[in-house]
Amino acid sequence: MAKPKGTIIPGSQKVPLEGAEAIAPAPPDERFEVTVRLRPKTPLPAARELLSGAPLPILTHEEYEKKYGSREADFALVRKFAKAHNLAVVRESPARRSAMLSGTVADFNKAFEVNLKTYAHLAGTYRGRVGPVRIPANLAGIVEGVFGLDNRPYAKRHGTLRPEAAAAASDGAVPFTGDQLAKIYNFPAGVDGSGQTIGLIELGGGFRPQDITTYFKGLGLPVPTVIPVSIDGSSNSPSTANSADGEVVLDIEVAGAAAPGAKIVVYFAPNDRTSRGFLDALTKAVHDTQNNVSIVSISWGGPEVVKGNSFQTQFDQVLQAAALLGVTVLVAAGDDGAADIGPKEWDGNAHVDFPSASPFILSCGGTRLLAPQGKITGESVWNQQSADLVNDSFGSGGGGVAASFKLPAYQARAAVPPSLNPKGFKGRGIPDVTGDGDPASGYKVLVDGQNLQFGGTSAVAPLWAALIARINQKLNGRVGFINPQLYALPANSGAFNDITVGNNRTTFKKFTKVGYDAGPGWDAASGLGSPNGTVLSGLLTASKPGLPASAEAPPKAKKK
């Protein structure tokens, strides 16, 4: 190979997956697309400004694109670069700061000075590379990331199917439906999420409309409007209940039952679960002016990676855009305890999940809920580490301390501990909140014609999304980036059911146990707690796009 001439894109370095081996060059005539992320016209506000806790004015989509979208001149340079390297410009979006380029392996190898190969690993094969991505000097600082050259899997779903043969829980734990949990967690009455749109990010799978109709009619609830949106050529593709269909339908049926008036939009990205598909689905949801999404729920993720990784950086910037647009983003904290990695890959350290680690989202943990006759009699941190592994899950809610994101100002009084890992970095603590996630006390769903019982933190994210939809409707606005408001509430506000029992410690045979215990107030196993929705809604403020942050805000309740 000739000596590289281009400028390295920061954070674009790649190494093979653990245990992967290059077995052949990638087929030179294989055609695919990549997403090129461009700089904004104006740098995004400093993270410390957004995370300070000060009220954020909510921008309209037009205001955001005008200030933070990509420049036409930058797109023109990308077009010129693409033409010179036999690449086709498929789509452009100034708001999403994205240009999608199509070409062959041979074309992309030359254009970005990479050497794409076919790699084999335990889970199959992928197209991959080693080293950085390079661009011409005139694009340095303009192009911030190129995604899709490498199609290794990144994210996994955070849902756990309870085996049909599982014995009845000795403590009386039983599953619920979303509408039952809305009552148990005291969601505000008189509102159902009408006027709100919940966006669901899905990396594969699908739903059968007849299942949705049957399920909601069986609950005596209106059948929600569910709109599928195709990302990067993917579509609503249902197959079997033990596939990604379970995740898709779980999200729809939980959100739809707990906020039956909300519109649900499902963004289907390719089922290869790559970083490109994940990123493209999020940018589409956040900047979808047609469906006007107000809440996004994400039940997928992967272990946090080193600071400066271009995918993680760009994904976090889209989450910042969501905050500026008043879109509340909720993310599952993970189902593998404080290890967040399977037993074969575990390195003995604590890890948190990304995008749950981002300070711009509401991270959702999991509990084991006992609520006979609709009243909570017990709630503890979900941890089934001693149970049989299901879907490669340890069966424990994720949580811990981030290694790539500093402690945000809104968590300054939360007593977030240093990381359990050697250097003890004091970063962003997760989860922020929690809710029913244990499969034994999980969710009744109808998937591909089968009545099944699911759990996982992936169910908690859409449950909280439904709560936010009802609160937005009640407040006639958007609570948007809600974290600063939640952490500013007094400890005795009554907005949360404080979880003080249990832990998310993970044990692997000969390895040391690693994890966190629940306790009074915020902790890295249960966050601030599970919701008391009516109380919480009375303590929050909301605003509308294009108006000052306090314009639509009701007065906060006074301490008694």
- The one-letter code for the residue type at 244 is A
Residue 369, token pair as written in the block: 């809920």
- The one-letter code for the residue type at 557 is A
Question: Given 243, 356, 458, 537, which residue is catalytic?
Answer: 458
Q: In what order do the strands lie in the sheet with 124-128?
A: 21-25, 117-121, 124-128
Does residue 235 have an active-site annotation? no
User: Do 131 and 8 contact (CB within 8 A), yes or no?
Assistant: no
Question: E strand or H helix at 73, and its extent?
Answer: helix 72-84
Longest dimension (CA), the chain: 73
- Tell me the sheet residues that pair with 38: 143
Question: E strand or H helix at 445, and its extent?
Answer: strand 443-447
- Tell me the sheet residues that pair with 8: 134
Question: Given 179, 251, 379, 436, which residue is catalytic?
Answer: 251
Distance CA 149, CA 206 (A): 26
Distance CA 42, CA 74 (A): 13
Residue 161, token pair as written in the block: 């199917």
Does residue 251 have an active-site annotation? yes
Specify the length of the chain in residues.
560
User: Do 179 and 221 contact (CB within 8 A), yes or no?
Assistant: yes
Q: Are strands 295-298 and 530-531 parallel, antiparallel or unpaired?
A: unpaired
Residue 361, token pair as written in the block: 């989202």
Distance CA 161, CA 139 (A): 47
Distance CA 104, CA 112 (A): 12
Distance CA 25, CA 27 (A): 6
Question: Given 150, 247, 436, 523, which residue is catalytic?
Answer: 247
Does residue 245 have an active-site annotation? no
Distance CA 292, CA 287 (A): 8
Residue 223, token pair as written in the block: 């059948």
Distance CA 384, CA 474 (A): 37
Query: Taking Cα atoms as reference points, which of 362, 282, 285 lies closest to residue 328?
Result: 362
User: Do 522 and 491 contact (CB within 8 A), yes or no?
Assistant: no
Helix axes 245-258, 209-219, angle to 10 degrees: 40
User: Do 296 and 330 contact (CB within 8 A), yes or no?
Assistant: yes
- The one-letter code for the residue type at 60 is T
- The one-letter code for the residue type at 307 is K
Name the residues annotated as catalytic. Answer: 247, 251, 458
